[in-house]
Amino acid sequence: MSVLVTGATGFLGRRLVRLLREDGVDVCCLVRPSSDVEPLRRTVGNDLWNGVDVRAAELSNEEACREAMTGCSVVYHVAAGLGGSTSTLFLSSVVPTRTVMRAAADANLQRFVLVSSLGVYGTSTMRAGDLLDEQSPIDPYPHLRDPYTYSKVMQERAAREVSKETGLPLVIVRPGVIIGPGRGVLSARVGLQLGPLMVRMGGTQTLPYTYVDNCASAIRQAGLADGVEGEVFNLIDDDLPTAKGLLRMCKCAGEKVTSVWVPRQLIQPMAGTYDWYHRWSRGQLPGVLTPYRTASIWKPLRYTNQKAKDRLRWQPDVSFDEAFRRSLNGVEADHLGNRGRI
Ligand SMILES: NC(=O)c1ccc[n+]([C@@H]2O[C@H](COP(=O)([O-])OP(=O)(O)OC[C@H]3O[C@@H](n4cnc5c(N)ncnc54)[C@H](OP(=O)(O)O)[C@@H]3O)[C@@H](O)[C@H]2O)c1
């Protein structure tokens, strides 16, 4: 069996390629001409590298995409921009998704797996304690959150449109914050990182995290499991910590984390004041703390991974304690060095 993976040089894509090779699947990696392939080669290892075919082309080149897909049955579309302006993210995530999917439809592929994000849900209108699952609504105003969330919502929309137009079977996976060696464990879900200071927002919120190898194994299954075409899967691990619990774990592990705490009741009033000042001063402070964004990301919600376990026959094999240890002690250099985000 052969599959095509985009974003194979990234933090998640590298692990996915390795897992597929461990299963004996041949993998064509469609990378950018500018991509550094060395970290992928190191992650896959010499023994498994012989089943990897690396092709360099821009994802906007439909002909090159089609050619690379010859003989493949599944596309794993992992590539996406993680930072930058709205227009940059649309160009690196939304536009290429259409091209790669059209090529996959022309090449008669059996399945297209899109790696989206758990951030696409409209959590601003959910109540504390609500369960977030695959039935939860998509954010109707993602442009009020941040450019990344906006691009992921629009990427999913583009994928559904092309799937409907062409009949290409689509599976969408929505990982939570991906942690692992090189990425550390702290994220915007804990609070705002201001230089060396972590401003913890609330603390009782469960962190929707997934360890990179657990996440990659669920994504592999999304391409291989029977009868999941048209489905969506949230990917998060078991035994997730709260924000407060995670900071405690960091301190117990000897990490130097300086944090201050904003109680949950104060988050919204603080965001309102900050946003007012941001507008009044015409952007003297960056517009990072808006009431909409605040209501979306620091709410204590419940999460479930039951659907992925049942339908993908998946289990997050690495426990959270082990994932935490590996993420703190991991030595693998991350070529981007950015924090996990969803
Ligand atoms: N990290 C998280 O916490 C998280 C959470 C939820 C969902 N996700 C999703 O998971 C996927 C992978 O994330 P990651 O953390 O592995 O990101 P990453 O390390 O930044 O890797 C991104 C990959 O996409 C490629 N890429 C970016 N823009 C591209 C473009 N315009 N054309 C072709 N390739 C392009 C990069 O290629 P180069 O090597 O050439 O740069 C790289 O291989 C993304 O779809 C992301 O939205 C991530």
Name the pLDDT band for 342 (thresholds 50, 70, 90).
low
Task: Tell me the whole-structure pTM to 2 decimals.
Answer: 0.95
State CA 110 to chain mean position distance: 23
Domains present along the chain, CATH in parentheses: 2-182+208-239+301-329 (3.40.50.720)
Determine whether the shortest distance from the Cβ of 241 to ligand 1 is under 6 A.
no
Mean pLDDT of 243-267: 95
Name the average pLDDT for the chain. 95
- Would you state the pLDDT for residue 332? 52
- Would you state the pLDDT for residue 121? 98
Give the closest residue (by CA) to ligand 1 atom 7.
117
pLDDT tens digits, 273-288? 999 999 999 989 888 8
Closest to 154 in 3D by CA, of 87, 233, 234: 87
Which atom number of ligand 1 is nearest to the Cα of residue 175? 6
End-to-end Cα distance, the chain: 31
Determine whether the shortest distance from the Cβ of 117 to ligand 1 is under 6 A.
yes
264 touches 333 (CB < 8 A): no
Determine whether the shortest distance from the Cβ of 7 to ligand 1 is under 6 A.
yes
Determine whether the shortest distance from the Cβ of 93 to ligand 1 is under 6 A.
no
Name the pLDDT band for 338 (thresholds 50, 70, 90).
very low
Determine whether the shortest distance from the Cβ of 221 to ligand 1 is under 6 A.
no
Determine whether the shortest distance from the Cβ of 202 to ligand 1 is under 6 A.
no
pLDDT tens digits, 259-270? 999 999 999 999
Centroid of ligand 1 to alpha carbon of 12 (angstroms): 8
Share of the chain above pLDDT 70, in %: 96
Per-residue tokens: 166:
């062409």
Name the pLDDT band for 329 (thresholds 50, 70, 90).
confident
Per-residue tokens: 93:
């995530």
Q: How many helices (H) and strands (E) does the chain have?
A: 13, 14
- Write the DSSP symbol of residue 120: G
Closest to 262 in 3D by CA, of 175, 324, 200: 200
pLDDT tens digits, 108-138? 999 999 999 999 999 999 999 999 999 999 9
Residue 337 pLDDT greater than 50, yes or no = no
Alpha carbons 204 and 262: distance in angstroms, whole number: 12
